[in-house]
Structure 1
């Protein structure tokens, strides 16, 4: 491939994924704004359990990635039949994992707000929110798995379009479930809107229903419509030990990484909780606001996983290296621009997310601090995607562990008593810069290119 063609491929796969991530963040903004309109306690209730939802989401992503990386390399090696075998195993494996995760989440939902140090006034709403979230985990797990599989087969448009649909459904369900029945003015007249008036619980249920609907559509597109992965009659659904063990080997470091990172984020919540409801709410909304800046990086990282994985499967390590470099450069450029916009537009963002002026003022301060970390944060995100495409999931986990616990938590613990929430976000900014440098070193050293291709050990066609 000529350099221009390589750039075109990176952009072609990245743009739909970026749009999907932006739609996902738009959904979070809408959720936050709708819940924020109920008051500071409602925002704090959701914010209290956010770090724990990240833990469960991360575990679901890990389970899905263990299978999707195998598919990317098998498709790159032109072994579509083996890729379909992996898909069958992925459906079985991720569904079981989603059910186990749901039971675990339901089991801890009532005690979780107390464990996290939340104020008594916000604990019931936080418990309800997390309970409904946990019940939807099987659907969320299957949606993530199906989306990853479509992306790794080279189809970025379908999962992107369906994720946009999920955003629209979430708006619809939230408007019906969060607020009570009401009248609104429209074109000089009055329109009556139905509503369940469920508050914070309605936000969780709206998201759960949109997850369920899109999971069904995503599985339909994957299993019945995908040119590469469409399942055919006669294939075996018997558990294949080799595929499951390979998925476990890839997923386990990622899962441990998520446990460690989310454990650190939960500890950060414990550090922030004593600072008061305003700090908890400002932190939660600032995290939501920042996500608009960094989620395009995850879209580019998804494209990098596909391009590197298929190149490795085809035996083209030189092409894999170039795709990794180009993807990283694009991620840095995009997130540097979004970071600059975030710095400038922080006051507008918070005016949309909450009417509370105290929360707005604190949130704007911490968000503008974080803007300076975005370019190096992009490096860590995109390089992680490239390394996963090559089957290297252990090194990113170790680097994240060192960075999060060695830098962020230590610094936040020291700075929070003196500077409050601002100190916690200063620690976060410094840690993300250090993390980006560590991942850049890993990328440039090139040891990840020496790993054996997963396509060489593909299962027999079934």
Structure 2
């Protein structure tokens, strides 16, 4: 059904408002389910490790911002290829789309292998650099080391998921990511409890589930995908134009992820002196919040596909309207998430930790953050619109300004007086500022210059 609707978009056929909304929902719902399943894995890790005590939780919380940095940069480096695949499919140039895909896999996996070696090399020093207390350093080191070693399989998953979504196939990535969530439960139980590996077992369990699902995802992409499955008669050739375009699109996204992730590392450094309870509550609070913003990232995936294929098909009549509709949908869903976060925060925190102090502090910070979710949703979806259009530099600059000029300075000022709630107030204020900046960019329409 969704490919039929997308084929009408590619063929230049008229689509009324109800058909446009239906197309967005057909793409967004599977992507949202996929994002939720990914977040559920974080819940599984956090709750299983949380049963081992506050120190075990804090050891993961200490390095979590750095795992996001590595994962984010890995994802960003392939964005230039997935966006070009969407453009090529929108233009119905399927041979070029497959060559872009091959080039993306070669470059993306090579980069992930280098990043994995860097991560493994710094793993023993990282917890100390982040200001961890002595009792959590060893577990934090082991958790990050295992994460780094499994990074190439995480990258395979990013690549295959991104290529399938760019082609309009949201269903298969959604189903396989739900499978990954289920596998994570069994692998974690085996490694954390049966083999008694504790914190390191959580990282091994997650890595093994990513390994299995990434191979299944690649198998479907290479042999079953409607537009992207490999053909024997098509030989791979390195195209400098594809690579330069991928760098033009991907480097700003990489800068964006690096800026955002480094800000999270700085954020963790601000939180670390507040003590083990604050570190654990901060980590669990971020995990709990992530469930609430996953609908926004699901709609973002739909926006990237729709805008990318609209640009490729030269659909000037639809591009801006689809950008606005996806933004309204994402913001509306995140407003509902904000209500759930505010009233459901006690339940969310109790699921993650049995420690009463961690739960009480976690509830307090989540209720502060609830007031930022609608505008955060706007920024997430508009970033997808800009990414689909290939306008990635503006997104990076707006994140740079909001993170480093608002969040980090304000968090550093408030931490000493108000503790963790003050730090999270700074984050909530910054997310509202970010949402406003992204909405201004959307409605000024400069991101549509490719259709001029």
Corresponding residue number in structure 2 for 1:122: 136
- Unpaired segments of 5 or more residues in structure 2? 1-14
How far apart, CA to CA, are the structure 2 residues paired with 1:104 and 1:318?
Answer: 46
Deviations 1:65-90 (A, max 9, x none): 11000000110001011100101101
- Secondary structure at the residue paired with 2:259? helix
How far apart, CA to CA, are the structure 2 residues paired with 1:386 and 1:263?
Answer: 24
- Secondary structure at the residue paired with 2:235? coil
Q: Contact 2:316–2:451 (CA<8 Å) still a contact in 1?
A: no
2:54 equivalent among 40, 52, 55: 40
Q: Contact 1:114–1:123 (CA<8 Å) still a contact in 2?
A: yes
Corresponding residue number in structure 1 for 2:93: 79
Corresponding residue number in structure 1 for 2:238: 239
The 5-angstrom pairing of residues 51-130 of structure 1 reads: 51-130=65-144
Q: Contact 2:353–2:359 (CA<8 Å) still a contact in 1?
A: yes
Bigger CA drift: 22-31 or 369-378? 22-31
How far apart, CA to CA, are the structure 2 residues paired with 1:26 and 1:234?
Answer: 42
The 5-angstrom pairing of residues 310-349 of structure 1 reads: 310-349=309-348
How far apart, CA to CA, are the structure 1 residues paired with 2:112 and 2:236?
Answer: 18
How far apart, CA to CA, are the structure 1 residues paired with 2:168 and 2:257?
Answer: 26
Once the two structures are TM-superposed, the CA of residue 122 in structure 1 deviates from its matched residue by 0.2
Once the two structures are TM-superposed, the CA of residue 142 in structure 1 deviates from its matched residue by 1.1
Corresponding residue number in structure 1 for 2:397: 398
Q: Contact 2:349–2:363 (CA<8 Å) still a contact in 1?
A: yes
The 5-angstrom pairing of residues 272-287 of structure 1 reads: 272-287=271-286
Corresponding residue number in structure 1 for 2:4: none
Once the two structures are TM-superposed, the CA of residue 343 in structure 1 deviates from its matched residue by 0.6
The 5-angstrom pairing of residues 12-411 of structure 1 reads: 12-179=26-193, 195-411=194-410
- Secondary structure at the residue paired with 1:178? helix
How far apart, CA to CA, are the structure 1 residues paired with 2:326 and 2:406?
Answer: 27
Check if 1:7 corresponds to 2:21: yes
TM-score by length of 2: 0.96
Deviations 1:269-289 (A, max 9, x none): 111000000000000000000
Deviations 1:416-436 (A, max 9, x none): 000000010000000000000
The structure with the greater share of residues assigned to helix is: 2
Corresponding residue number in structure 1 for 2:8: none
How far apart, CA to CA, are the structure 1 residues paired with 2:427 and 2:131?
Answer: 21
- Secondary structure at the residue paired with 2:288? helix
Deviations 1:109-160 (A, max 9, x none): 0000000000010000000000000001111111101101000100000001
How far apart, CA to CA, are the structure 1 residues paired with 2:323 and 2:189?
Answer: 41
Q: Contact 1:309–1:320 (CA<8 Å) still a contact in 2?
A: no
Q: Contact 1:305–1:385 (CA<8 Å) still a contact in 2?
A: yes
Q: Contact 1:152–1:305 (CA<8 Å) still a contact in 2?
A: yes
How far apart, CA to CA, are the structure 2 residues paired with 1:110 and 1:367?
Answer: 32
- Unpaired segments of 5 or more residues in structure 1? 180-194, 454-462
How far apart, CA to CA, are the structure 2 residues paired with 1:321 and 1:234?
Answer: 38
Once the two structures are TM-superposed, the CA of residue 57 in structure 1 deviates from its matched residue by 1.0
Deviations 1:188-207 (A, max 9, x none): xxxxxxx1010000000000
How far apart, CA to CA, are the structure 1 residues paired with 2:269 and 2:316?
Answer: 44
Q: Contact 2:314–2:451 (CA<8 Å) still a contact in 1?
A: no
How far apart, CA to CA, are the structure 2 residues paired with 1:295 and 1:404?
Answer: 20
Give the total of aligned pairs.
438
Dislocated runs of 4+, deviation >2 Å: 234-240
How far apart, CA to CA, are the structure 2 residues paired with 1:394 and 1:54?
Answer: 20
TM-score by length of 1: 0.94
